[in-house]
Amino acid sequence: GAGVSQSPSNKVTEKGKDVELRCDPISGHTALYWYRQSLGQGLEFLIYFQGNSAPDKSGLPSDRFSAERTGGSVSTLTIQRTQQEDSAVYLCASSSDRTNYGYTFGSGTRLTVV
Amino acid sequence: DQQVKQNSPSLSVQEGRISILNCDYTNSMFDFLWYKKYPAEGPTFLISISSIKDKNEDGRFTVFLNKSAKHLSLHIVPSQPGDSAVYFCAASGNQGGKLIFGQGTELSVKP
């Protein structure tokens, strides 16, 4: 597609439920990133995929968070047993290579845990 | 621990005047970028500067880098109401392709 697509755009879930957030990067982009923005906070790095290399998971806040990237394209971020502090806008970005200037963000998924 | 900080959460400027957004960083970084974010949209790349330079200009936008002070700033002149958005400073460190972002500064340009 022309841009990075994220779904759903909004998600309300009950505390304790699992959620899956999807990211479709720009076709051909080898690097894919997940960030999140909590209310009043900056962009917090979560995880980074680059080609076939092992992902950089150093930003995942707990073991309830995991992410996969299938076939070097679509990525899914899964949050298990959601907590209220997980409420945030989850942003996905892709780039053609490690050059940061190529970062293109999606519009994000607003997750609300009630 | 590499950090990027934007200490001003908001800034209000009159149309036509200069907007100056500031950013501080710790430790050595390689490239610095500014992103602009409108509500309900993802951030979009605005302008960048390499650590080997001290100034980069693109139209109304200029970024200045002061490596000795570990400080960079974004100047917008003249400011326009359409510039009203949240501006994020970001930097690449020694941690591969990922960017470290600041907390953002919300700019409001009054007509």
Q: Select from A41, A101, A104 the Cβ nearest to the Cβ of B48.
A: A101
Amino acid at B47: I
The Cβ-side half-sphere exposure at B75, using a 13 Å CA radius, reads: 13
- Report yes or no: A6 and A22 within 8 Å, Cβ to Cβ: yes
Asked whether the beta carbons of residue A42 and residue B96 sit closer than 8 angstroms, the reply is no
Distance in angstroms between the alpha carbons of the first and the last residue of chain B: 41
**Per mean pLDDT, which range of A20-24, A37-41, B12-16 is the poorest?**
A37-41
Instruction: Using an 8 Å CB-CB cutoff, list chain B residues near A8.
Output: none
pLDDT at A1: 54
| pLDDT, mean of residues B60-78 | 97
pLDDT at A100: 56
When the pLDDT of each residue in chain B is averaged and rounded to a whole number, the result is: 93
Instruction: Using an 8 Å CB-CB cutoff, list chain A residues near B103.
Output: 40-42
Per residue in A27-60, is it b (16+ CB within 10 Å) or e — as a string? eebbbbbbbbbeeeebbbbbbbbbeeeebbeebb
For B2-24, the pLDDT digits (tens) are 789 999 999 999 999 999 999 99
The pLDDT-based confidence of B108 (bands split at 50, 70, 90) is very high
For B41-50, the pLDDT digits (tens) are 999 999 999 9
The pLDDT-based confidence of A36 (bands split at 50, 70, 90) is very high
Instruction: Using an 8 Å CB-CB cutoff, list chain B residues near A40.
Output: 9, 103
Asked whether the beta carbons of residue B33 and residue A41 sit closer than 8 angstroms, the reply is no
- Which residues fall within 8 angstroms of residue A53, CB to CB, at 6 or more apart? none
Asked whether the beta carbons of residue A93 and residue B42 sit closer than 8 angstroms, the reply is yes
Closest by CA to A101, choosing from B5, B44, B88, is B44
Least Cα separation, residue B68 to chain A (angstroms): 23
Q: Of B27 and A110, which is predicted with more confidence?
A: A110
pLDDT at B9: 93
Q: Select from A91, A98, A108 the Cβ nearest to the Cβ of B97.
A: A98
Tell whether the model's pLDDT for residue A5 goes beyond 70. yes
